[in-house]
Amino acid sequence: MSGFPTFLEKIRRDINTCMNKYLVQVRIKGQIIKTTVEADSFIHAKLLAEWHFGIGSVTSTPTKLSENTISTPQTPEQARIKSLQTQADRAKDAVKAERARQQMKKAQSQLTKIR
């Protein structure tokens, strides 16, 4: 052995470094599903997803993921808690909007009484 990498080692190293992970949104039976594809570029990611899931199934441009953005999936308990927190936030926003609507209606009725 001369200490130099062989041709196959060079190819393996080049193949592993050129692939990027892309987030792709795909429509399957009317539902939008997020999945990841390893490809050289976003165009290749889109083509691979369309080849796998069908032409026209990709709903948005694939976005490149960095190593920091990839996370583990939530447990069902964590997902339930997050869902409930989101519902509570939406309910608070709905209450604020309703109060503002009622105040506006009250102010408009007072203006019509003055005229």
Angle CA 71–72–76, to nearest 5? 130
Confidence of residue 112 (pLDDT cuts 50, 70, 90): confident
- Per-residue pLDDT averaged across 97-104, rounded? 95
Q: Is the pTM of this model over 0.75?
A: no
> Which of 27, 67, 68, 20 has its CA nearest to residue 45?
20
Range 42-63 average pLDDT: 91
Both tokens assigned to 4: 């130099």
Query: In 3D, which of 47, 46, 41, 52 has the Cα closest to residue 19?
Result: 41
